[in-house]
């Protein structure tokens, strides 16, 4: 089978190359050039591209570079900036997976006649009740099913996750035995287009204007101020200039009124939330899951909480079994089956409740 393997320059995709090669597949590695600006973090630095190329040489497979920088700017960077302008906290890595690392790459793979596209994600694809589903990776501490939740049933028949059934320690051991230069390389944790020296604020300030805002308590009394209300997020505790005393968290942000409201931990609790930009692995899921009990994960490695899911297929309302902290608009939530093993769908928070 001819397999197009996305190689980020990390250890997981490096090990995936060995797994696929040793299984007898005709493997071609590809590194996507996404961010065209300066970068010293994430998976888009010059050194990462070089690591991917050298690992491909070590594994004895061909290596290509696809320039998707224009798509990345349009689909990831510009929406990231636009979201902050209106006070939404986006997840650019999710959108990169949605539009580039899967949709764009899958289309290119099909155009070039490959039988499958593979990545180094820690997730699995297995049948559940006769339908292919994204299943949690074998290494629960490294599970990445959350970030690949948007894959459709058609995609699931074309995508491979070669290291999804392995523990991270096994991945590194395989890379070391194979002499790969990435065997001990740390995992990438940061957004690739935000350099470590300028940070989020520095990056956004070059593309948008900031406005000062007042900080008020839940009674509306002014107790402080922030230099950039666009940089404040729901649940934030630090950087508000409020000094010591009781713990206070951001419970509401109004960009139009340039106001940040803070309160206690209980003030963050909500009985539910509304979700849009829904992704369903299978079209029938939108109908069969209406009124279903699900487990919901609100961050890449966050805890799961029980909720009732009510949906018309395009918008969903989650009602928590117990009140939970509000999740910022723009963040992604993923729905899992009640056994917490496989993805039912997911979407982007529009109203935190």
Q: Which of 117, 106, 120, 124 is nearest to 343 (CA)?
A: 124
Q: Enter the pTM of the model.
A: 0.92
Residue 79 lies in a domain: yes
Q: Do 42 and 82 share a domain, yes or no?
A: yes
Q: Do 170 and 33 share a domain, yes or no?
A: yes
CATH number of the domain enclosing 312: 2.40.30.10
Catalytic, 96? Answer: yes
Strands of the sheet with 222-226, listed across from one edge:
222-226, 213-216, 259-263, 249-254
Q: Do 249 and 298 share a domain, yes or no?
A: no
Q: Do 220 and 298 share a domain, yes or no?
A: no
**CA separation for the pair 202, 215 (Å, rounded):** 22
Residue 33 lies in a domain: yes
Contact 234, 89 (CB under 8 A): yes
Domain count, the chain: 3
Q: List CB contacts of 14: < 8 A, sequence separation 6 or more.
A: 7, 51, 52, 55, 59, 120, 175, 180, 182, 183
pLDDT tens digits for range 199-216: 899 999 999 999 999 999
Confidence at residue 38, expressed as pLDDT on a 0 to 100 scale? 65
Beta-sheet pairing, 213-216 with 159-160:
unpaired
How many H helices and E strands in the chain?
10, 17
Residue 344 lies in a domain: yes
Residue 195 lies in a domain: no
Q: Do 29 and 103 share a domain, yes or no?
A: yes
Using the CB atoms, write b or e for 120-135: b if 16+ within 10 Å: bbbbbbeebeeebbbb
Residue 222 lies in a domain: yes
**CA separation for the pair 30, 105 (Å, rounded):** 9
Share of the chain above pLDDT 70, in %: 97
Average pLDDT over residues 46-63: 92
Q: Do 223 and 314 share a domain, yes or no?
A: no
Burial class (CB in 10 A: 0-12, 13-18, 19+), 257: exposed
Task: Please name the helix (run of DSSP H) or strand (run of DSSP E) that holds residue 171, with its range, or none.
Answer: helix 168-177
Q: Do 232 and 325 share a domain, yes or no?
A: no
Question: How much of the chain is in helix, strand and coil states, percent to nearest 5?
Answer: 30, 30, 40
**CA separation for the pair 294, 9 (Å, rounded):** 36
Beta-sheet pairing, 316-325 with 304-311:
antiparallel
Residue 126 lies in a domain: no
pLDDT tens digits for range 73-106: 999 999 999 999 999 999 999 999 999 999 999 9
**CA separation for the pair 53, 44 (Å, rounded):** 13
pLDDT band at 246 (very low <50, low <70, confident <90, very high): confident
Q: Do 45 and 166 share a domain, yes or no?
A: yes
> Which of 243, 263, 283 is where one domain is finished?
263
**Catalytic one of 43, 44, 93, 192:** 192
pLDDT tens digits for range 175-201: 999 999 999 998 876 788 887 788 899
State which residues form the domain around 332. 268-351
pLDDT tens digits for range 249-262: 999 999 999 999 99
**Catalytic one of 43, 44, 93, 96:** 96
What's phi and psi for 155, nearest 5 deg?
-65, -40
CATH number of the domain enclosing 97: 3.40.50.620
Residue 142 lies in a domain: no
Q: Do 232 and 287 share a domain, yes or no?
A: no
Q: Do 34 and 173 share a domain, yes or no?
A: yes
CATH number of the domain enclosing 256: 2.30.30.280
Mean pLDDT (the chain, rounded): 93
Q: Do 172 and 38 share a domain, yes or no?
A: yes
Beta-sheet pairing, 213-216 with 222-226:
antiparallel
How many Cα neighbours within 13 Å face the side chain of 132?
Answer: 14
> Which of 201, 231, 263 is where one domain is finished?
263
Greatest mean pLDDT among 105-109, 128-132, 239-243: 105-109
Average pLDDT over residues 261-270: 95
Residue 205 lies in a domain: no
Burial class (CB in 10 A: 0-12, 13-18, 19+), 10: buried
Catalytic, 192? Answer: yes
Q: Do 54 and 67 share a domain, yes or no?
A: yes
């Amino acid at each position: 089978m001819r397999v197009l393997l996305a190689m980020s320059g990390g250890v997981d995709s490096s090990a995936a190359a060995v797994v696929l090669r040793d299984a007898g597949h005709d493997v071609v590695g590809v590194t996507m050039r996404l961010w065209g600006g300066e970068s010293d973090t994430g998976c888009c630095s010059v050194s990462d591209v070089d690591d991917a190329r050298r690992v491909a040489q070590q594994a004895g497979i061909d290596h290509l570079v696809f320039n998707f920088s224009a798509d990345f700017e349009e689909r990831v960077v510009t929406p990231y900036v636009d979201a902050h302008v209106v006070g939404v906290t986006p997840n650019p890595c999710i959108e990169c997976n949605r539009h580039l690392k899967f949709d764009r790459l899958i289309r290119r793979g099909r155009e070039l006649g490959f039988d499958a596209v593979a990545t180094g994600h820690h997730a699995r694809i297995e049948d559940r009740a006769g339908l292919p589903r994204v299943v949690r990776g074998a290494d629960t501490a490294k599970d990445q099913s959350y970030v690949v939740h948007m894959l459709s049933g058609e995609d699931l028949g074309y995508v491979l996750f070669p290291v999804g059934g392995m523990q991270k320690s096994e991945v590194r051991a395989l890379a070391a035995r194979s002499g790969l230069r990435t065997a001990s390389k740390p995992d990438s944790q940061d957004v690739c287009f935000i350099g470590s020296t300028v940070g989020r604020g520095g990056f956004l300030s070059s593309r948008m204007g900031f406005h000062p805002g007042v900080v008020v308590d839940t009674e509306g009394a002014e107790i402080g101020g922030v230099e950039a209300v666009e940089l404040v997020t729901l649940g934030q505790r630090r950087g508000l200039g409020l000094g010591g005393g009781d713990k206070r968290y951001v419970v509401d942000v109004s960009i139009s009124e340039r106001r940040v409201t803070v309160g206690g931990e209980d003030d963050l609790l909500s009985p539910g939330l509304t979700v849009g930009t829904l992704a369903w692995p299978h079209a029938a899921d939108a109908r069969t899951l209406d009124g279903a009990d699900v487990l919901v994960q609100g961050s890449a490695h966050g805890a799961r909480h029980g909720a009732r899911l009510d949906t018309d297929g395009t918008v969903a309302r989650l009602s928590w079994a117990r009140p939970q902290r509000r999740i910022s608009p723009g963040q992604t939530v993923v729905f899992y089956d009640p056994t917490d093993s496989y993805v039912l769908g997911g979407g982007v928070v529009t109203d935190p409740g």
